[in-house]
Amino acid sequence: MVSKVTKSVSTLISAVSVPLAAVLLRSATRISLFVATCALLLVLHACSSEPQSGISGSGAPVLVANGPISGFGSVIVNGVRFDTDSTEIYVNGNNANEQALKPGHVITVSSGNSAVNSEADFSAEVLHLDHDVQGPISQIDTVNRSIEVLGQRVIILPDTKINLQNPDGFVSMQAGQFVQISGFRNSSGEIEASRVDEVTIAHGIVTGELSELDVANRLFSVGGAQFMVAPDNSTIDLSTVQNGTLVQVFTDLPTDANPMVVSSFRQLTVSSRAANGQQLIGRGNVESITIEGNRAQLTTSGLQAVIDESTVFVNGQLADVVVDSRLKFSGLVFNDQLLINKLEFTPRATKTLESITSNIVVTSNDPIYQGYIKFNDQTEVQVNSLTEFIDHSQLAHRQFNLAHVRSGDSLIVGYYVDSGGRFIATLIDRIATPEF
């Protein structure tokens, strides 16, 4: 049991405070479960004589993670593996199961304790998937690789996971096609898609921050799209929200009306905005930033965050943090702000390659498989804890990861080139395997 605590402490502490990790890990191997847990909670400014409980109990979860699913075998988010054996799963507010979750879905996971499953780091208590937009494609921009859905501009990146009936991806998209989008909004309010699925649906969805609220006339906007609550709809009370509130709006289809008529409406109480006293490991784009000396105030994923002299940077420095930088960040939420302990730059994929593998080297498998892949043309691509995996081959392996890649596999890789000239994979998509 103590060894399991040691592993969970290691995973979380690495994101919180690098200098303290060694001290706490040495202690965790010698002391009781209670003391090890308190050592972890002290780092989170949350240790006390009272027992700690998850969100199903009287207290708040210790850890909240927000980001795209990179793999399964439990659920992997931001390099942390969450056991989902007893997790409450909600998709757009409705009960669901793990089969509804796919690589690239941006989810929020709340955890109150370490996992019983030795392969996972934490037990997920509640998991939320809220699609950013759902509805028919109204416009397609082939030059800029973007589409419009319910007034939301959606950017299709080289590593966007696309699941359509036609396997040709973006080039096969058509106006009128119904899609679900999961991703991140940028500073312009556009959605950078992490995943696109073709679906058969009966209603539209738009998720985002509420703006242009007009309670008297029952009007508001989300992501630039205008909505109206019909006079005979008594179930929606706009006086309970304000500009900046994160909401999910449902509208009946077709949606030719402007403004669109709201059929139902929910305020998102669980999102990337963790509560005070909680540890957050998240991903997102920088929406705004102000730098003064060695400190910075920024907004990411709708959350106010602070960088100071104690923040540890990976793959960059403070001067590199600009509007629309894609970041992985972790820290403690205090006084409604995220105090960033560790900040890692995670550039978007800018290129793709399609080739046949010749050699696969695994350098680490604890907790996530990492290493590199060599291709027949001698190209080498690095795989890290944030690389997302999907298997479109005949095997359709749900828990596909680096350990399952075989010599001779046909892969499509989304990647970027780092400052050292290395190819860093953000997506590994297996499209065929010689096993068939």
CB 322 within 8 A of CB 289: yes
More confident residue, 119 or 266: 266
pLDDT-based confidence at 262, cuts 50/70/90?
very high
Q: Find how far residue 263's CA is from the centre of its chain.
A: 27
**Considering the domain 351-432, what is its CATH architecture?**
Beta Barrel (2.40)
Q: CA distances (Å), 304 to each of 36, 296, 320, in order? A: 31, 11, 18
Nearest in space to 8 (alpha carbons), one of 115, 164, 160, 137? 115
Gap between the Cα atoms of 426 and 418, Å rounded = 12
State both tokens at 104: 């690239």
pLDDT tens, residue by residue, 352-375: 999 999 999 999 887 688 999 999
Gap between the Cα atoms of 67 and 117, Å rounded = 22
- Coil vs helix vs strand at 318: helix
Nearest in space to 67 (alpha carbons), one of 189, 187, 195? 195
Neighbours of 142 (CB within 10 A): 10
CATH superfamily placement of domain 203-267? Copper binding periplasmic protein CusF (2.40.50.320)
Which positions ≥6 away from 203 have C-beta within 8 Å?
134, 250, 251, 252, 253, 263
**Considering the domain 279-345, what is its CATH architecture?**
Beta Barrel (2.40)
pLDDT tens, residue by residue, 202-246: 799 999 999 999 999 999 999 999 999 999 998 999 999 999 899
Q: For the chain, give the mean pLDDT.
A: 84
CATH class of 133-198: mainly beta
Half-sphere exposure of 68 (CA within 13 A, CB side): 31
